[in-house]
Structure 1
Amino acid sequence: MTGYDERPWLAAYPPGRRPHLRREFATALDLFESAAATAPDGPALHYFDQTLTWSQVDAAAAALAALLVARGFAPGDRLALCLQNDPAFVIGLVAAWKAGGTAAPLSPMSTTGELARSFGNVEPSALLVLEDLYLDRIRPVLATGTTSVRVVVTVSPLDGQHTADPRIFAGSTRLRPADTVDLTELIAAYTSAPPLPDSPERRVGPSDVAVLAATSGTSGPSKDAQITHANLAFSAQVYRDWTGLSAGEPILALAPVFHVTGLVGGVVLAMLTASPLVLTHRFHAGVIAEATRRHRPVFCAAVITAYIALAEDPDVRAADLESLRLRYSGGAPIDPEIADRLEEQLGGYIHNIYGQTETSSPSHAVPPGTRSPVDPESGVMSVGVPVFDTDVRVVDDDGNDLPVGEIGELVTMGPQVIPGYWRDPIATAETFSGGALHTGDVGFMDADGWFYVVDRKKDQINAAGYKVWPSEVERVLATHPDIEEAAVIGIPDEYRGETVKAFVVPAAGVDLAPAEVIAYCRDRLAAYKYPREVEVLTALPRTATGKILRRKLR
């Protein structure tokens, strides 16, 4: 017995929460259809001055699904979604399910080459895409004739709203590519079109893949995670039941909806609770604050960089965000000092939530109203405790359980763990074993069942036989008054095998000398830990959700 079998984390559960969930829905489509049936005239999507009801979203998705089927979309086919936080994303997601297929969100920030690779991996038969993205980056890919796309449906971010807020849409116009189907026109014409035929073979089941979601790719090439309908339905219910979110309470889409956090903790959660989802196309701190004042959302989940951007915008006040009583941050552990500063500036405590694309979002969370403990030795803030029906262990390199407090790899088991990667049996076999996910994250559990993430396993630096975790060095760099942000990697070294290199972004107006940074770290770290090289950058490379891309630094 090493402490995990006793599940000490249950003592931290919110009052009235039991260890097991009674699952209400088998598929994500079931929970959407429940919202459309129980609250047909209730607000589903707020998008600037436009509001769509659940029945309107249902009808729009049915129109798109009918077109897909008419164009040969077969059960199990993929509909690629190249969109921002737009109503069309929700419509496309549901349409794919209604047609018996899978949605494949692709980042709208992707380059032409990255999109071409995604099309080759996912092999979508249909595409729902923003007009400008189609014209600039996707039409050249489709023109090669090498993709599987048979029909393209385009949307404008101006569709359905009249504000055209210049902070978001400066210079935007409707482009209406002639070689595509326009979603607005399609929906308008659907009232006179034949309904989608009721076909049992198109009815999705719990084990069917609902979404192919790209992993973050922070330490290597991105993979496509097969998130099933059962995964989505379970994880959305975890968010609701863990936080105590009530039916109809508005939700702010602060994270990108094409990422697993925004998808599950935004779109699918809103379906489950029949709540209006507040969408703003893309992140702009002032626009977010204004939308929050207008629509009074109660819940949001996003990476910590989004909250930092809100705090640093001079036009955003704590009073603008007062309706947000449930604030969660995922993607990366929060530095305790940053958490304290954000609580003071934004007027509310930000709870940690932890998970991966492979766990269809949450595997750990901090209970609402509870402050996350900080490990006194490392200074790391806990990411939370395992959520309902979830078991987590910390293991060594041979897969053996480590004692409480010892650092190793986190291995997660639960209904939110996906079955594997799309068309990648080797990576699936390496990452998943007996239904357990080897997360690649390194951390430990304390005696009370709280978990702490130290770093990514692949990012560990081996300097002359000594282990160095980049996060430990980065925490020291974060205390330097002239450093805005920093990232650390290992680089080859003839003497040590590997040594530490730091990339730093100086504060505005500061001329930062690498030698001074090295000296600062040498006074505060063991000899094998302080960086031997420092490179000054204007910005660190990040994913769309704010994670640092160390592989690009390498």
Structure 2
Amino acid sequence: MTTYDDRPWLAHYDGRPAHQRVEYGTALDIFDAAVAGAPDGPAIHYFDATMTWAELDAASDALAALLAARGFRSGHRLALFVQNNPAFVIGLVAAWKCGGIATAITPMSKSDEFAYFLRRYRPTGLLALDDLYLEIARDVLSDTERDITVPIVVTVSALDGQSRDDPRIFDGVRRHRPADTIDLASLIADHPGGRPIRRPVGPGDVAVLLGTSGTTGFPKGAQISHANLTFNTQTYRDWTRLRAGEPILALAPVFHVTGLVGAVTLAMLMRSPLVLTHRIAPAVIADAIREWQPAFAVAAITAYLGLADESDITRDEMSSLRLRYSGGAPIDPVVEQRLEDALGGYVHNIYGQTETTSPSHIVPPELRAPVDKETGVLSVGIPVSDTVVRVVDDEGRDLPVGEIGELITTGPQVIPGYWEDPEATATALSGGELHTGDIGFMDDDGWFYVVDRSKDVINASGYKIWPHEVELVLGRHPDVEEVAVVGIPDDYRGESAKAFVVLRPGSLVSEADLVEYCRARMAAYKYPREVELVGALPRSATGKLLRRRLRDG
């Protein structure tokens, strides 16, 4: 027995159970209960429009009926290529009703990234925003050299489901009805009613595939099971003590694990309206808070910084948002205090990974996270119910309290594996334990702190960037001889990517040219904000690239 087995964090539970009794078998059961219990209650607020639970049920029935009629079966994947729109929730539920898997693809993907996800997941259906279909998806699907086929393609406009057409979000946006796709709004309007034949799903079935990053730098598909979702959705409820029916603000992208669990499925469990705004624009978010009075939100700290710095919302207007959580990127104690001064209220830490279906640790709302005196690091919280976290050395041996090592997580929220990737599963999830790759320690009272990462991942506003991804793109530039990418401090994003580039002899390309080259080929959060031209990259005697020397200057 070690200190971690003794679970000293239980002293902070304040009546919360050490063992959580999960109330629902699947995420679809949670949704069905919301429809049965509050059919006429608000399910989604989207600008000036509200969709009830019954209307959301009918809309997902319409899509599920189409999918089933076109051959979608149990275990098939429905790719969702949308923003924070009602269509995401409709597609999510429709896939489950067919016994299938929802596959979230970040709408920031460029063509090569989108094509990679399609090859990886081989979806039977695609639900995409019409502009993303025209800009990205159609060319990928029509490219004979790529040889990628998706039998069912449904498109939706970001303008659908509302009539405000807020120019701060929708300036220049027009509805498109691509002739080679099925229009979701028309499909829903024309649905005759009735239930599609449901195919059964169980707790162990995969509910969602979410892209994450692996040591090779290529995205892996985290298999989030229904059991993972039901456990951690309930964890959010029980640990924040959110009250039934209180509105929930989607302040994080719903195609990210934080927004999926801490907004979408949590709203289902609480029978609460989910507030969606298509994009996370501070001034628009501020208006949504004023209009819909949400009680809960979880997001990267940059979302709160945006509200403080780029909107005119007041402390009084923020008061409805009594439960404010930040996940994805560490909070600097100085930033925490600045936000409290500007917005009122305390932003609590929450910590986890895609592989832990969002939270493994949380700061209970009645407490404030301690700051470690030696490192100055703010605690990420205490492990939640049924969760054991250990700190281990390089040999996997438990370290004493206060000593720094890798965090290893075990609990019902840990995913069973990666999609069709047994090697990565065996490496990261050996014995059902998640090797997080995060470096930290536990104090005497059971609070955990993350001080560094064992890998070279760059964390920009909660999004993870692997240097290898950026290096592959820059390495394809005809003037680039060698490249190395590291993370650098960024006051707004926490971190951003910087590339050190060795040019081929005689090349005249500029640093700005290389930044623009990446910007055109990578998701917005990934491309390097800085490029520095160097004569050579630092390497060890064995030829190993010394990234730390680049980071340290």
Instruction: Judge same fold: TM > 0.5, yes or no.
Output: yes
Q: Cα deviations across residues 85-137 of structure 1 (Å, max 9, x unaligned)? A: 00000000000000110000100010011000000001001000000000111
* Amino acid in structure 1 at the alignment position of 2:451: V
Native 8 Å contact 1:4 1:393 kept in 2 = yes
* Amino acid in structure 1 at the alignment position of 2:290: R
Q: Calculate the TM-score normalised by the size of structure 2.
A: 0.84
Report SS of the residue matched to 2:350: strand
Give the match for residue 10 of structure 1: 10
Distance 1:265 1:50, change over 3 A: same
CA shift for structure 1 position 317: 2.4
Report SS of the residue matched to 1:37: helix
Alpha-carbon distance in 2 for matches of 1:170, 1:216: 33
Give the match for residue 175 of structure 2: 174
Give the match for residue 133 of structure 2: 134
Alpha-carbon distance in 2 for matches of 1:549, 1:226: 29
For residue 295 of structure 1, the aligned residue among 292, 295, 299 is 292
For residue 263 of structure 2, the aligned residue among 263, 266, 270 is 266
Alpha-carbon distance in 1 for matches of 2:466, 2:418: 29
For residue 220 of structure 2, the aligned residue among 212, 219, 223 is 223
* Amino acid in structure 1 at the alignment position of 2:211: A
Native 8 Å contact 2:217 2:467 kept in 1 = no
Q: Cα deviations across residues 439-488 of structure 1 (Å, max 9, x unaligned)? A: 1111000010000011111139xxxxxxxxx99xx9xxxxxxxxxxxx99
CA shift for structure 1 position 197: 2.1
Distance 1:314 1:225, change over 3 A: closer
Alpha-carbon distance in 1 for matches of 2:58, 2:250: 22
Native 8 Å contact 2:515 2:529 kept in 1 = no
Alpha-carbon distance in 2 for matches of 1:548, 1:401: 38
Distance 1:547 1:141, change over 3 A: closer
Native 8 Å contact 1:218 1:551 kept in 2 = no
Q: Cα deviations across residues 131-156 of structure 1 (Å, max 9, x unaligned)? A: 00001110011113522410111000
Native 8 Å contact 2:43 2:52 kept in 1 = yes
Give the match for residue 521 of structure 1: none
Give the match for residue 305 of structure 1: 302
Bigger mean CA deviation after superposition, 309-318 or 430-439: 309-318
Alpha-carbon distance in 2 for matches of 1:99, 1:173: 31
The count of aligned residue pairs is: 490
Alpha-carbon distance in 2 for matches of 1:503, 1:286: 28
RMSD: 2.9
Native 8 Å contact 2:108 2:524 kept in 1 = no
Native 8 Å contact 2:515 2:527 kept in 1 = no
Native 8 Å contact 1:218 1:550 kept in 2 = no
Give the match for residue 191 of structure 2: 190
Native 8 Å contact 1:107 1:258 kept in 2 = yes
CA shift for structure 1 position 420: 0.5
- Counterparts of 1:366-405 in structure 2, within 5 Å, are 366-405=363-402
Give the match for residue 478 of structure 1: none
- Counterparts of 1:323-402 in structure 2, within 5 Å, are 323-402=320-399
Distance 1:32 1:317, change over 3 A: same
CA shift for structure 1 position 544: 7.6
Give the match for residue 110 of structure 1: 109
Report SS of the residue matched to 1:223: strand
Native 8 Å contact 1:256 1:545 kept in 2 = no
Alpha-carbon distance in 2 for matches of 1:142, 1:329: 37
Alpha-carbon distance in 1 for matches of 2:239, 2:524: 23
Give the match for residue 122 of structure 1: 121
CA shift for structure 1 position 314: 4.5
Give the match for residue 38 of structure 1: 37
Give the match for residue 154 of structure 2: 153
Give the match for residue 494 of structure 1: none
CA shift for structure 1 position 5: 1.3
Alpha-carbon distance in 2 for matches of 1:505, 1:332: 12
CA shift for structure 1 position 3: 1.2
Give the match for residue 495 of structure 1: none
Give the match for residue 463 of structure 1: none
Native 8 Å contact 2:437 2:453 kept in 1 = yes
Report SS of the residue matched to 2:345: coil
- Would you say 1:49 and 2:48 are equivalent positions? yes
Distance 1:108 1:329, change over 3 A: same
Alpha-carbon distance in 2 for matches of 1:173, 1:550: 31
Give the match for residue 499 of structure 2: none
- Counterparts of 1:388-537 in structure 2, within 5 Å, are 388-459=385-456, 503=488
Point out 4+ residue stretches in structure 1 off by more than 3 angstroms. 216-219, 487-490, 499-507, 535-541, 543-554
Give the match for residue 536 of structure 2: none
Native 8 Å contact 1:219 1:549 kept in 2 = no
CA shift for structure 1 position 361: 0.4
Give the match for residue 318 of structure 2: 321
Identical positions, percent: 62
Give the match for residue 523 of structure 1: none
Native 8 Å contact 1:442 1:453 kept in 2 = yes
* Amino acid in structure 1 at the alignment position of 2:55: Q
Native 8 Å contact 1:21 1:388 kept in 2 = yes
CA shift for structure 1 position 550: 11
CA shift for structure 1 position 275: 0.3
Structure 1: give runs of 5+ residues left out of the alignment: 461-469, 475-486, 491-498, 508-534
Alpha-carbon distance in 2 for matches of 1:26, 1:216: 29
